[in-house]
Amino acid sequence: EAKKKGKANHEVFEPRMDAPALGRLRMGTDLRRAVERGEFRVHYQPEVSLETGEVVGFEALVRWEHPEHGLVAPARFIPVAEETGLIVPMGRWVLEEACRQARAWQDLRPDGPPRVMSVNLSARQFEHPDLARDVARALRESGLEPGRLVLEITESVVMNDARSTVGTLGELKALGVRLAIDDFGTGYSSLSYLRRFPVDYLKVDRSFVDGIGEDPGDAVLVSGIVDLAHALGLNVVAEGVETQEQLALLRGMGCDLAQGYHFARPLPSEEASTLLARARPLG
Ligand code: C2E
Ligand code: MG
Ligand code: MG
Ligand code: MG
């Protein structure tokens, strides 16, 4: 019944397994207020070179500092932000904040190693006609070099064969930013897009990395992804590295970069700054 209404009238949200309809409506209202009041925070998780152990980048991950519930994880509110379209202003803010932070870290040590900042884009952000303009503005206002910004999109976004996908990717590449395929391996299986689109990084989904120590099948898959990426001239990032054993296996496979709790959790900017100031290899 609610589903029918939801289809006919977009004001009504479809209830999901994780939250009753009323809760989601409430969350939609809270989210709108959160955008206005600036309740979002960006945490930064280091990306480590498996060759040098150096921090070569960060992924910006949004959190919501809810006045009553405290820090809320993105899995709890991104789906609602997508449905309501609030993901667009929220994502724009994350992009601006992450670019500012990346530039600030660069200014702290201008002769330090070049680091990239990765920012996630959801389908709705990617389809928004202002995306390239928003990215250009974030770069201009922060003074961050375009080549230091990586935009992460999922396979399903790229596989959506609309002509606009090609156009948008072209516009973004023309700005000089880099592109990563996030959660690689969990989406569609057609790989032809890797040749057609100007992708720079593959991020191997955590679900594969998880099992590489125990499950020979997972190890074969990840090793195959690394070889495929390298044959296509792409860099590979392993997501969700939690153990020394996984790290050693990934290194043996020739994986380029890794992120995960083994190195560091996503950190508030001050803590990430402290970590950078220590400047000791994490790997
Ligand atoms: P993602 O882009 O794949 O980000 C990686 C997620 O894995 C993050 O969860 C991170 O905290 C978590 N993670 C990293 N290392 C480990 C590990 O070793 N073990 C485990 N168990 N988890 C690890 P988080 O921050 O909760 O974000 C979840 C998802 O929400 C992200 O997945 C991304 O799809 C989305 N997201 C986060 N921030 C943004 C944003 O600013 N914009 C958009 N559109 N989506 C975002
Ligand atoms: Mg990501
Ligand atoms: Mg993702
Ligand atoms: Mg991912």
Probe target for ligand 1 pocket from 64, 239, 250, 261, with the most ligand atoms within 8 Å of CB: 239
The pick from 42, 47, 120 for probing ligand 1's pocket by mutation, whose C-beta has the most ligand atoms within 8 angstroms, reads 120
Q: What is the spatial distance between Cα 145 and Cα 160, in angstroms, rounded to a whole number?
A: 29
For ligand 1, atom 19, which residue shows the shortest CA distance?
240
For the chain, give the mean pLDDT.
89
Q: Identify the weakest region by mean pLDDT among 85-89, 162-166, 236-240, 255-259.
A: 162-166
Is the confidence at residue 161, as pLDDT, over 70? Answer: no
Q: How far is CA 112 from the centre of its chain?
A: 24
Instruction: Using pLDDT thresholds of 50, 70 and 90, give the confidence band for residue 22.
Output: low
Query: What ipTM was estimated for this complex?
Result: 0.98
Q: In this structure, which residue's CA is closest to atom 7 in ligand 1?
A: 240
Cα(209) to ligand 4 centroid in Å equals 11
Q: For residues 12 and 34, is the Cβ–Cβ distance under 8 A? A: no
Identify any residues that bridge with 60 across adjacent strands, giving them in sequence order: 44, 119
pLDDT one-digit tens code per residue, 31-77 = 999 989 999 999 999 999 999 999 999 999 999 999 888 899 999 99
> Is 34 or 278 the better-scoring residue by pLDDT?
34
**Cα 142 from Cα 27, distance rounded (Å):** 31
- Read off the pLDDT of residues 77-120 as tens digits, 9 standing for 90 and up: 999 999 999 999 999 999 999 999 999 999 998 888 899 999 99
The CA distance from 28 to 86, in Å, is 9
User: Minimum-distance ligand to the CA of 61?
Assistant: 1
Among 128-142, 160-174, 219-233, the minimum mean pLDDT is found in 160-174
Residue-wise pLDDT for 200-224, tens only, equals 999 999 999 999 999 999 999 999 9
In the reported structure, the alpha carbon of residue 240 is separated from the centroid of ligand 1 by a whole-number distance in angstroms of 9
User: How many CB atoms lie under 10 A from the CB of residue 273?
Assistant: 15
Query: What is the structure's pLDDT at 20?
Result: 54
pLDDT band of residue 26 (cuts 50, 70, 90) is: confident
Q: Which of 65, 88, 67, 85 is nearest to 76 (CA)?
A: 65
Closest CA to 105 of 266, 264, 279: 279
Given a cut of 80, is residue 171 above it in pLDDT? yes
pLDDT at 192: 80
For ligand 3, the distance from its centroid to the CA atom of residue 191, given in whole angstroms, is 18
What residues does ligand 1 touch, defined as CB less than 6 Å away? Answer: 45, 61-62, 73-75, 78, 91, 94, 120-122, 125, 152, 182-183, 206, 239-242, 259-261, 266
pLDDT above 70: residue 121: yes
The first and second tokens of residue 67, run together, are 């006045």
Nearest-angstrom CA–CA distance, 212 and 197: 29
Residue in 240, 244, 207, 268 with CA at minimum distance from that of residue 65: 268
Q: Quick count: other Cβ atoms within 10 Å of Cβ 230?
A: 15
Model pLDDT, residue 254: 98
Is residue 188 predicted with pLDDT exceeding 70?
Answer: no
The answer on pLDDT for 244 being more than 70 is yes
**pLDDT at position 5:** 41
